Amino acid sequence: MIALTHIGTYLPERKISNLDLLNKFEVDESFIRNKIGVVYRTRKEVHEKASDLCIKSFENLQEQTPLNLEDVECCIVVTQNPDMNIPHTSAIVHGALGLPESCACFDISLGCSGYVYSLSVVTAFMQANGMSKGLLFTADPYSDIIDENDKNTALIFGDGATVSLLESDQPGLVALGFDFGSKGASYKSLISDGRLFMNGRAVFNFTASTVPISIRKLLEKLNLTKEQIDAWYLHQGSKYIVDTISTRLGLDRDKVVFDMYEYGNTVSSSIPLLLSSDLYKIQKGQKIGISGFGVGLSWASAILEKV
């Protein structure tokens, strides 16, 4: 059984304040705080690439739990803003960290659903190949593709990265089950070929209608009620979307974690960033729900239990 045992994170120190942009975008402070839920957006340095952010998150992991690099059997990066298209960013990270030659590396291309999907993909890959230690990175530096004059995206996205340590036979979070889905026919609502375009209304409507169904379906499949889940870590798309999903599902609001005011929507890093603060507080037997949604359009939900 492969468990999520530690999470290293990186958020750039440099921040842009949305409060400086009220006039530019003709919005008020309440819109920034209560609707979007992003006051500051973290910004990497212009020359920094996805791999640089990954490496910084790994340094944070090493501070928490010193790893013997020779023990790392796989290194996977989730990104849609790779350093280059060729090679995969995981190869660059592999080289920079000095991981062993026997280490399996590949990238997974997914957006905001990427962490949940990849938890399933990577734990299954490790289990099938008898691996006991793996690194799952998330890093999607949207600052490289955002038009700072586009109100639909300029106030939302922040840069960041995380690395999840996955280990066999260790205390940690293990997945009880997943639900996956895709609406490829609607992919044009959120695209980038160098510059991000988002139809905010379409993405909101997709999320508000799809994610509650995914979570209900998953709970039913696992024979669980929402009351049996101790905390919810939903992708931090915006405060309004997290509020809407919570309301539609009738979730106890004290159980719904929200924390993006200080850094923004970090795409596939949002859920592991949230989880990293609470990981060591979750008690054996407690269950948490996670759900990611966005680019694709794509979604994935999971229930994890601390073992």
Footprint of a second copy on this chain (CB under 8 A)? Answer: 74-75, 80-82, 84-96, 98-99, 101-111, 114, 117, 120-121, 123-125, 127-129, 145, 178, 180-187, 190-194, 196, 295-298, 300
What are residue 234's DSSP bridge partners? 291
Residue 124: CB minimum distance to a second copy, A: 4
Cα separation of 49 and 144, whole Å?
A: 9
Q: Which is nearer to a second copy, 11 or 74 (CB)?
A: 74
Task: Kindly state the tokens that stand for 97.
Answer: 């960290």
Of 82 and 172, which has the nearer Cβ to a second copy? 82
Tell me how far, at minimum, the Cβ of 177 lies from a second copy, in Å: 8
Is the four-CA dihedral 188, 147, 201, 12 of positive or negative sign?
A: positive
CB of residue 27 to a second copy, shortest distance in Å? 25
Say which residues have a Cβ less than 8 Å from residue 224's Cβ, sequence separation at least 6. 176, 287, 303
The nearest distance, CB 74 to a second copy, in angstroms, is: 8
- In the complex with a second copy, the residue whose CB is nearer, 162 or 214, is 214
3-state SS, residue 191:
strand
196 near 145, Cβ under 8 Å?
yes
Q: Which is nearer to a second copy, 19 or 84 (CB)?
A: 84
Nearer CB in complex with a second copy: 24/183: 183
Which residues are CB-neighbours of 31 under 8 A, at least 6 positions away? none
CB of 281 to a second copy, least distance (A): 27
Parallel, antiparallel, or unpaired: how do β-strands 196-198 and 190-192 relate? antiparallel
